[in-house]
Every structure is written in C-alpha cells, then in structure tokens.
Amino acid sequence: MKILVLIKEVPDMQKVEFDSERGRVNRANAPAEINPFDENALETACELKKAREDVDVTALTMGPPRAEGSLRIAYARGADHGILLTDAKFGGADTCATSKTLAAAIRKKGGYDLILCGEKSVDGDTAQVGAEVAEFLGIPHCYYVEKIDKLTSGHIEVTAEDLWGMKQTRRMPLPALVSVTKNITTPKLPTVRRRLESREIEIERMNLSSLEDILTPEETGAKGSPTKVNKVVIPPEVKRESVVFREEPDGFMDALASVFLEKGLV
Ligand code: FAD
C-alpha cells in the first residue's frame, strides 16, 4: 500500500514578518518548519506502516529549493521517500494553482492508495488544498478526520468531526484523500539514527518540465491563479475597555444607556 503525505514548509509564525507594501508574508527571515498539522498526518502514516507490513510512505512538498530540508525531517520522522516539487514558475500560486500542481505530480507518479494531509496550514490557513487536490484527482476525500478506524486494500473507514462537533463514521473506496486534525495522534521525535540517515538520502525533484504532458505553464504559479489580491491591510489594534456597573438592577439600564451615549455608541 502506497501512502502519500502532503507536507507544507511554513515559517515559524512567532518570527514571521508581514510585508505590508507588497501585501505578502515575508518568509525570508523566519526559520522554516513542517506545518504542525502535517506532522500529525505524517505520524498517522507511520503508525499505519507499523500496523501493516506492506505500507510505503512518501512525503511530497511544493515549495522553494530550501523545502528539501523539511523532506529530510519527514524521512527522519519515518517517511520512506521525499519528493520536492520546485520551479520558479510555481511561484505566486494561490490554493487552486497549488492544488492543481500537486495533483499533477501525484498523477504523474501514480499508484498512491491513500493521500494524507493536514486540516490546514498555519500560515495560509485556508484549509482548501486537500479537498482541491482530491477534486483535481477525481477521488473521494474526507476532512477533519480524528481516527482511522480501518484500512483495507480497497477501503478506508474514518471518524471525522464536523464543525458543529458531531462525529461521523465514513467509509470510502481507495484511492482517497484524508485530512487529519491534531487530535488524531501525537507526533514522535525522530531517532538519532534516522536523523543521521536523513542527511544522506536522495530527495527526488520534480519541476514544470517533469509535468509538461499534464500541466501547462498557464495552469500553475501566478498565471494559473484565479485569486487576485488587490490590497492587504492589517486591521488596527482594537482597544478594549471595560466598565463595571455597581448600580442596583433598577438603576442599571440608565447607567448603561449613559455609557453608550457618552462613548457615542448610539
Ligand atoms: P491549506 O489549504 O490550509 O493546507 C491544507 C493542507 O494541504 C496542508 O496541511 C498540507 O498538508 C497541504 N498543503 C498545502 N500547501 C502545500 C504545499 N505547498 N505542498 C504540499 N502540501 C501542501 N505562497 C507562497 O509561498 N509564495 C507566493 O508567492 C504566494 N503567492 C500567492 C498569491 C496569491 C494570489 C494567493 C491567494 C496566495 C499565495 N500564496 C503564496 C499562498 C499559497 O497560495 C498557499 O500557501 C498555498 O496555496 C497553500 O494554501 P494554504 O496555506 O491555505 O494551505
């Protein structure tokens, strides 16, 4: 069984700066790490590998050349292979172009039974990529999965929590895509041996030419992105004030009204 884990390299959000002139996140000065939700997806794949002998785990990321480092960490954490999808022409991609490019690479490599991803990234935070990848591949998908109940060579059964907290059990034929929440498992630290090995492993690289028979330059990067950001503004910091009313209930409404009038709220 071949499992593919989508991992995104994200900047450490404690250290990231916002370039308000260009309306973009300035990732250049912030250290990079694997999106924390994707660590859960990777750990889930590694647990499935431990439970079944036939599982082979590949981590795939689309990003700049330095994202190779995250694939080495993915290996140290238990992945068998890493694929880096990188090309200057992929730059400026919105979620649609990102997903189309990832789906093209997945189709090109072929043969994956299960694709796992995180429920969202901590920087873009749209939670769109997983579902879009599945739609471009034409395979079933399930979001907010907190437990994989059963995995056979033909089907997967999962427990997912919807936005209102209801739990649902779903069964999907493979190949399928599953996006996991943080509740699914706790990522373990890599061993020293795997860390050392990760420095030596070969990371496969793919670029636009690798996909030229299934993806055109117009479908990827800024050219393939229907989202156009006109302006990005940082909202002004909201000043919070509190007023404590000590009046008896009878006088309370008058006191409240006078505060509203005084603050110009009515
Ligand atoms: P989500 O949908 O929240 O992620 C869900 C899951 O999908 C993740 O947990 C992960 O498993 C998987 N996933 C997401 N992204 C990747 C990936 N790259 N590789 C593998 N798996 C992934 N970003 C830039 O870095 N440079 C740019 O120049 C740039 N230009 C942009 C221009 C526009 C107009 C817009 C709207 C966005 C741009 N972005 C850019 C942001 C970029 O679109 C998102 O980072 C990307 O599409 C992923 O979306 P997300 O972070 O919301 O992921």
Distance 1 CA to ligand 1 centre (A): 27
Query: What CATH number should be reported for the domain holding residue 74?
Result: 3.40.50.620
* Candidate from 4, 18, 39, 95 with most ligand 1 atoms within 8 A of CB, to mutate: 95
* Tokens, residue 219: 């479908």
What is the tally of structural domains in the chain? Answer: 1
Residue 225 within a domain:
no
Q: Are 173 and 150 in contact (CB under 8 A)?
A: no
Chain segment 246-264, per-residue pLDDT in tens: 878 788 888 889 989 998 8
Residue 236 lies in a domain: no
d(CA 235, CA 158): 39
Q: Are 25 and 97 in contact (CB under 8 A)?
A: no
Determine the average pLDDT of the residues in 159-173.
Answer: 92
Distance in Å, CA 186 to ligand 1 centroid: 24
Ligand 1 midpoint to CA 98 (Å): 6
Range of the domain at 159: 2-219
Ligand 1 centroid–CA 105 distance in Å is: 16
Q: How far apart are CA 179 and CA 247, in angstroms?
A: 52
- Residue 261 domain flag: no
Q: Is residue 91 part of a domain?
A: yes
Residue closest via CA to ligand 1's atom 42 equals 94
Per the domain annotation, does 235 fall within a domain? no
Q: Which atom of ligand 1 approaches the CA of 95 most closely?
A: 47
**pLDDT bracket for residue 23 (50, 70, 90):** low
Q: How many CA atoms lie within 13 A of 186 on its CB side?
A: 2
> Does residue 85 form part of some domain?
yes
**Given pLDDT bands bounded at 50, 70 and 90, which one contains residue 202?**
very high
Q: What is the pLDDT of residues 35-56, one digit of tens each?
A: 999 999 999 999 999 999 899 9
Report the pocket of ligand 1 as residue ranges, CB < 6 Å: 6-8, 35, 37-38, 60-63, 91-95, 98, 102, 117-118, 120-121, 123-130, 225, 227, 229
Q: Is 138 left (phi over 0), alpha (psi -120 to 50) or beta?
A: left
